[in-house]
């Protein structure tokens, strides 16, 4: 039986044969995703966890969050705007010394303090393509200079606002020209359409992931904060994550949980800590960006491309 047939059978059983809670969401919208994951050679759940470090609070929180994750065997990849790396180089250098991977997240700052809270700034959709490209190249220089290693992955600032085909194409094209191996700069709907990763411009795009209940909504910390000034993460974050993890783990379905958070949103937050403990206990394999890319490319066929590479997907 092919992967798709197997999945249909599993989904069918799930809907018809098993006693399921009436409120349990269907995996139907993820049917194509799972088939694409199998085509990539994946046979189990993976976690690709990254952190968006847009404010000074994140520079202070990242070390503690990292230590907590390390104690669980969970790897973290960091996306820090160049401006923040220049402002607080030491905490990030220490993380790099502990083996953390840093993506290029552009050069300009992504947030500013407006008197009572941090607000987002630097949106590529209000910049010219030339300015966006220059910011990506500046981000590359700063990561290389501060961290001491050239990044091989990229995520755009506030990437949810930069998803039009020509915009995503500009990001991928520029990252490819810098020799990158991956980007993770698209919203979950890309994953539903193309799977956990797809090849474009000679690199892999690894779309962010949602939850089985809200497959199109990024399961990030910002979306599920219940207090955006003092930062309190709602229980919904935990509930959605655990329900999603369990749905895949119990059925041994392949998936890449490409999730990210902001360190200051999750530091000492029970919803986050319990969710991470659950992921570790469930045996989900945690990978950093380079490792995930290596894994996906090593399962590629003899053409050197992942088996489900979507040609012309630009
Ligand atoms: Zn950012």
Residue 281: which domain range? 3-11+23-298
Cα–Cα distance between 258 and 256 in angstroms, integer?
6
pLDDT of 7? 52
pLDDT of 309? 43
Rounded average pLDDT over 259-283: 96
Rounded average pLDDT over 248-255: 95
Cα–Cα distance between 55 and 105 in angstroms, integer?
13
Instruction: Give yes or no for residue 96 having a pLDDT over 90.
Output: yes
Mean pLDDT (the chain) is 89
> Ligand 1 centre from 207 Cα, in Å?
16
> Ligand 1 centre from 55 Cα, in Å?
9
- Tell me, yes or no, whether 308 lies in a domain: no
The region of weakest confidence among 84-93, 198-207, 305-314 is: 305-314
pLDDT in tens, 42-69: 999 999 999 999 999 999 999 999 999 9
- Tell me, yes or no, whether 18 lies in a domain: no
> Ligand 1 centre from 109 Cα, in Å?
8
pLDDT bucket at 25, cuts 50 / 70 / 90: confident
> Ligand 1 centre from 280 Cα, in Å?
26
pLDDT bucket at 13, cuts 50 / 70 / 90: very low
- Tell me, yes or no, whether 307 lies in a domain: no
Please enumerate in sequence order all residues whose Cβ is within 8 A of that of 149, keeping only pairs 6 or more positions apart, or say none.
96, 102, 143
Cα–Cα distance between 157 and 83 in angstroms, integer?
12
CATH assignment at residue 55: 3.20.20.370
For residue 204, the 8-state DSSP code is E
Instruction: Give yes or no for residue 15 having a pLDDT over 80.
Output: no
pLDDT of 311? 38
Cα–Cα distance between 272 and 79 in angstroms, integer?
19
Cα–Cα distance between 233 and 270 in angstroms, integer?
8
Instruction: Give yes or no for residue 168 having a pLDDT over 70.
Output: yes
> Ligand 1 centre from 245 Cα, in Å?
26
Give the count of beta carbons closer than 10 Å to the beta carbon of residue 228: 11
Q: What are phi and psi of 27, to 5 degrees?
A: -90, 5
Q: Which residue has the higher pLDDT, 183 or 119?
A: 183
Looking at the 3D structure of the chain, how many domains does it have? 1
Instruction: Specify whether the CB–CB gap between 53 and 78 falls below 8 A.
Output: yes
- Tell me, yes or no, whether 208 lies in a domain: yes
- Tell me, yes or no, whether 167 lies in a domain: yes
pLDDT bucket at 228, cuts 50 / 70 / 90: confident
- Tell me, yes or no, whether 113 lies in a domain: yes
Rounded average pLDDT over 209-217: 95
pLDDT of 24? 73
> Ligand 1 centre from 162 Cα, in Å?
13
- Tell me, yes or no, whether 310 lies in a domain: no
> Ligand 1 centre from 287 Cα, in Å?
21
Cα–Cα distance between 208 and 183 in angstroms, integer?
10
For residue 125, the 8-state DSSP code is G
Give the count of beta carbons closer than 10 Å to the beta carbon of residue 283: 9
Give the count of beta carbons closer than 10 Å to the beta carbon of residue 106: 29
- Tell me, yes or no, whether 70 lies in a domain: yes
Percentage of the chain lying above the pLDDT 90 cut: 80
> Ligand 1 centre from 44 Cα, in Å?
29
pLDDT of 6? 53
> Ligand 1 centre from 79 Cα, in Å?
7
């Amino acid at each position: 039986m092919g992967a798709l047939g197997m999945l249909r059978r599993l989904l069918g059983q799930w809907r018809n044969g098993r006693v399921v809670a009436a409120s349990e969401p269907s995996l139907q919208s993820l049917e194509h995703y799972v088939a694409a994951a199998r085509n990539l050679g994946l046979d189990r759940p993976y976690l690709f966890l990254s952190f968006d470090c847009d404010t000074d609070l994140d520079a202070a929180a990242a070390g503690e969050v990292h230590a907590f994750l390390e104690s669980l065997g969970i790897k973290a990849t960091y996306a820090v705007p160049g401006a923040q790396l220049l402002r607080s180089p030491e905490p990030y250098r220490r993380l790099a010394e502990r083996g953390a991977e840093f993506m290029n997240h552009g050069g300009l700052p992504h947030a500013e303090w407006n008197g009572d809270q941090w607000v987002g700034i630097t949106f590529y959709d209000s910049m010219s393509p030339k300015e966006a490209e220059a910011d990506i190249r500046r981000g590359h220089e700063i990561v290389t200079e501060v961290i001491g290693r050239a990044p091989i992955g990229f995520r755009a600032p506030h990437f949810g606002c930069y998803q039009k085909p020509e915009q995503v194409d500009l990001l991928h094209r520029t990252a490819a020209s810098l020799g990158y191996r991956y980007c993770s700069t698209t919203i979950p709907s890309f994953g539903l359409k193309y799977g956990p990763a797809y090849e474009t411009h000679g690199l892999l795009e690894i779309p962010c992931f949602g939850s089985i209940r809200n497959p199109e909504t990024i399961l990030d910390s910002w979306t599920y904060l219940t207090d955006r000034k003092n930062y309190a993460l709602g229980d919904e974050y935990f509930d959605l994550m655990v329900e999603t993890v369990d749905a895949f783990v119990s059925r041994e379905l392949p998936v890449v949980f490409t999730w990210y958070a902001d360190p200051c949103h999750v530091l000492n937050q029970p919803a986050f800590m319990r969710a991470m403990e659950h992921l570790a206990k469930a045996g989900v394999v945690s990978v950093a960006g380079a490792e995930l890319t290596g894994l996906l490319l090593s399962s590629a066929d003899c053409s050197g491309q992942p088996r489900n590479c979507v040609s012309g997907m630009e």
